[in-house]
Structure 1
Amino acid sequence: MKDFNEVHEQYEPMIHKIIKTLHIYKDKDDYFQIGMTALWEAWEKYEEEKGSFTGFAYSTIRGRMLDVLKREVKLTERFTYPDNEEFLALIPDKSKESMFEAENLLAHFEPLTDTQKKWVLYTFIGMMKITEIAEREQVSVSAVKKWRQGAKAKLVIRKAN
């Protein structure tokens, strides 16, 4: 039989034709590579007494591409996510709960200043660090530490009473 380079040159148009007949328009280069691999495997396995190489190569290449297409369709069906609006409608809205938590928490902290209340909310509801609070409020880290210190002092006094 011929050298594979000759087979490659002769059957390359067949691979392109199969890609076109299967209506493959995405990842054409990947499917061309799959076709080349299938052509090489067909060339390796071909036995002259069983028929023509052209028919064997065609069915091997087309079969391999169909297998890959089927696998990709299965993956797409399994892992396709709904549209954003549909998907977001499935997620429960917890903003009302967190607002209730904040109001409930702040009811216990009446003696605190506004900045001290911000520290409480950011720390215990927002789960933010001091540096993150300072960045968000555009103040220094030491200012946030003073808010914390004042809040703790007022809360300890209130707890003792």
Structure 2
Amino acid sequence: MRAFWKDCRLKDFNEVLEQYEPMIHKIISTLHIYKEKGEFYQIGMTALWEAWEKFEEGKGSFTGYAYTTIKGRCMDELRRQVKWKEGCAYPDGTDFWEMLPDDSVTGRLEAETLMTYFLPLTDPQKKWVLYTYIGMMNVREIAEREQVSVSAVKKWRSGAQARLVIGKQ
């Protein structure tokens, strides 16, 4: 008996949804929502379901109650999104992501700066320094990348460390 009642209620709601679907679209349009129409349509359908479940016959028209509920839920979501966006921006209105430095330029500058300090190093030793400190790679990863043995990379490392500590060789 319960399954039958649930099935009847679902069929009834499908009819209600069909009847009030234009209202959901109108509210979305009235609120000037263009980017996330699908998301707000889902919010509108959920709000319509809640209105349909909670509506009491003697307390006014369902249309007014549904409209108020749907618009209220959409407005709540808009407020939530604005609050979230404000949390991601600096006080002057600049977006957080716009303030991050360009890593591609920074990485090149770091590598160029390091290279001036490592003029006495051989090419393999320079590779070890760059892979280790810029690329954050370990000895095994460097060996795989350069297609050499791990012991060869360890020799690069010891040679680079010796030349950097002493300064000449």
Question: Does 1:70 pair with 2:84?
Answer: no
Structure 2: distance between partners of 1:123 and 1:42: 61
- Cα deviation, 1:102-130, whole Å, max 9, x if unaligned, reads 72xx59xx6xx624642663476445333
Normalised by the size of structure 2, how large is the TM-score? Answer: 0.63
When residues 45 and 124 of structure 1 are mapped into structure 2, their CA distance, relative to the original with a 3 A threshold, is closer
Q: Which amino acid aligns with 2:37?
A: K
> Which residue is 1:79 aligned to?
88
Query: Which of the pair has more CA radius of gyration?
Result: 1
Structure 2: distance between partners of 1:100 and 1:5: 68
Structure 1: distance between partners of 2:131 and 2:41: 56
Let me know the Cα RMSD of the aligned residues. Answer: 3.7
Give the Å deviation of 1:15: 0.7
Structure 1: distance between partners of 2:21 and 2:131: 65
Q: Which amino acid aligns with 2:64?
A: G
Give the secondary structure class of the aligned counterpart of 2:100: helix
When residues 68 and 114 of structure 1 are mapped into structure 2, their CA distance, relative to the original with a 3 A threshold, is same
Question: Does 1:140 pair with 2:145?
Answer: no
Give the Å deviation of 1:71: 0.3
Among 121, 130, 135, the alignment partner of 2:129 is 121
> Which residue is 2:58 aligned to?
49
Task: In structure 1, list runs of 5 or more residues that go unmatched.
Answer: none
Alignment of 1:14-25 (within 5 A): 14-25=23-34
Q: Which amino acid aligns with 2:23?
A: M
Task: In structure 2, list runs of 5 or more residues that go unmatched.
Answer: 1-8, 90-94
Give the secondary structure class of the aligned counterpart of 2:33: coil
Question: Does 1:99 pair with 2:107?
Answer: no
When residues 119 and 23 of structure 1 are mapped into structure 2, their CA distance, relative to the original with a 3 A threshold, is closer
Percent sequence identity is: 50
Q: Which amino acid aligns with 1:99?
A: T
User: Which stretch shifts more, 116-125 or 45-54?
Assistant: 116-125
Structure 2: distance between partners of 1:68 and 1:37: 13
Structure 1: distance between partners of 2:124 and 2:21: 74
- Cα deviation, 1:73-122, whole Å, max 9, x if unaligned, reads 111221243464x4328xxx69569937972xx59xx6xx6246426634
- Cα deviation, 1:114-154, whole Å, max 9, x if unaligned, reads 24642663476445333444466x452354344346x28x7
Structure 2: distance between partners of 1:64 and 1:33: 11
Q: CA contact under 8 A between 2:51 and 2:65: conserved in structure 1? A: yes
Q: Which amino acid aligns with 2:26?
A: K
